[in-house]
Amino acid sequence: MNRRQYLVTASTCGIAAFAGCLGGRADRPLPETPTGSWSQSRHDEANTGNGDTTVPPRGDHAWTSEEFTRWKPVAADGEVYIGNVGADSDGPPVIVALDASDGSGRWRVTLDTETSHYTSAILGELLVAASGDQVIAVDRESGNREWTATLSESIELSEITSVSEKSLVVVLDESGLVAFDATGEQLWSAPLPPHAVDTPAVWEESIYVASGSELRRLDIADGTEDWTQDVGDVPLGPSVTTEGVIIAAGGELAVHDHTTGEQKRRLDDYDRGADGVAVADGTAYWMTYDKLAAVTVADGAVEWRLDINSWADGLCVGQDTVVAPASYEGIDGPTIATFDRESGDTRWYYAIDGIDSVFTIPPILVDGAVYFISNTIDGVGALGDISPADDS
């Protein structure tokens, strides 16, 4: 299997952590079917990145799908859903449902569109995907296409926010936001200035979206704009909590007021890019080019900080663990690393070898598995608690 595993001591915290290197194709099922869900790009409608799930005790490579993909997957009910455009990006995109335990195919749907971009979100029993100039809804159990809606133009970059309680999805494209209900009926559209950043966040009756150097709040009922605040250059879009709207902009990670958009407090700063934020139980876990930190949202107190290098945008948190694509002192090359939420101590990490090796999406987390995509494999890979006796 051209694969090796070794035990190292993580220098950041002095505890033992398993590390694996991806040199071939793993083909072992996970010991149990993963549960829980990762239903959209940043997990939930508020973009918290908090899966409230249990990270597996080890992160060994279990399997890699046969289907090529470079787009973010979503997962629920023992399945992982990916968009496949072929290794050479030739031909129409294909939506594929995979068994979350072993990566085997459940169903596949070929789309009648050509695109260089694909994104999806789970809305109840539907998988809703945007590709080209179309928004497509597929029944997650059967793979049957339920409806197709057409956008005003073919999109090169898009994100979808699913709002289960309101049975709707909000699609962000180059021109603005478009809302569809669960039957595919367009509810409203709202134009935005160019350069919209990241996935829109939904909180109660409002949608928060960053565009250019501005943070906006829109009414979810009809898309009308409530307010706009100039916040400075925005590399990382909003996450929303009871404390306010958390956004990285103008060199600061800050909390903004829900109702006015005005900054309530600065949490931290950055000077070389903001790569990911996740929020859980009043703490913002966030990653920049050269650090991973835990900051209390209520007062900006730093709970812990690690010197790391990020290897992809995005991170996620489970019940007691942070999962991030990062490397740090004592580790050579890109890894998916897990850190204790309270202390920042390393739990385990998984490393990939090779020149110019990178992770191409943020990791996603469900109970019992971490899913990832890198340029060293052709599809989506699964990490989990694989017995050492099964390694070869």
List of domains in the chain: 4-390 (2.130.10.10)
In this structure, of 27-31, 88-92, 138-142, 179-183, the range with the lowest mean pLDDT score is 88-92
Q: How far is CA 257 from the centre of its chain?
A: 25
pLDDT the model gives residue 88: 55
Q: Go through the chain and tell me how many residues it has.
A: 392
> Which of 105-109, 173-177, 227-231 has the weakest average pLDDT?
173-177
Q: Which two tokens stand for residue 302?
A: 């730093």
Give percent of the chain above pLDDT 90: 66
Does pLDDT of 255 surpass 60? yes
| pLDDT grade for 189, boundaries at 50, 70 and 90 | very high
- Please say if the pLDDT value at position 238 is more than 90: yes
Whether 231 and 241 have beta carbons less than 8 Å apart is answered as no
User: How far apart, in whole angstroms, are the C-alpha atoms of residue 306 and residue 312?
Assistant: 17
User: Does 244 have pLDDT greater than 70?
Assistant: yes
- Find the mean pLDDT for residues 151-157: 74
Phi, psi of 280 (to 5 degrees): -150, 130
Checking if the pLDDT of 275 tops 70, the result is yes
| pLDDT value at residue 12 | 32
Q: Which residue has the higher pLDDT, 91 or 81?
A: 81
pLDDT for 67 beyond 60: yes
Tokens of 68: 């090529």
Between 59-68, 93-102, 273-282, 351-360, the lowest mean confidence (pLDDT) is in 351-360
Question: Quick one: which of 57, 56, 54, 51 has its CA closest to 37?
Answer: 51
Coil vs helix vs strand at 389: helix
Q: What is the mean pLDDT of residues 260-280?
A: 93
